[in-house]
Chains A and B, each alone.
Chain A
Amino acid sequence: MIFALAVTAIVVLALLWEVLRPAIGRRIDILRANRARRADGEGLPGYDPGRERRAEQRARELLKSCVNDEEWEMYRDLGFIRVWGGESGDAEAVLSRDLRGAPYAYLVYPHRPIVAYLPQTGRLLNEYCVEFPDETRPYGSSRLPDSDDVLAKWMALKGDERRLISEANMHLPGRQIDPKMLQRDIWRLGRWERERLERAARRHVVGPAD
Chain B
Amino acid sequence: MKFLRMRPGYGEQLIAEGDVDLAEDEERLVAEFRRQLEQGMWAAIPVKNESGRREAEMVRAFEDIPRTTDRVIFFPRAAGGAR
Contacts and interface: CB of A to CB of B under 8 A. Distances in A.
Contact of B8 (A58, A67, A143, A169): A143
A152 B11 CA distance: 12
Contacts of B38: none
B55 A129 contact: no
Interface residues of A, number: 47
Given A130-B81, A132-B76, A132-B78, A67 B54 contact: yes
Which secondary structure dominates chain B's binding surface? strand
Interface residues of B, number: 29
Contacts of B56: 66, 154-156, 158-159
Interface in A113-141: 113, 129-141
A17 to B, nearest CB: 44
B3 to A, nearest CB: 13
Contacts of A96: none
Given A51-B9, A152-B6, A133 B76 contact: yes
B9 A139 contact: yes
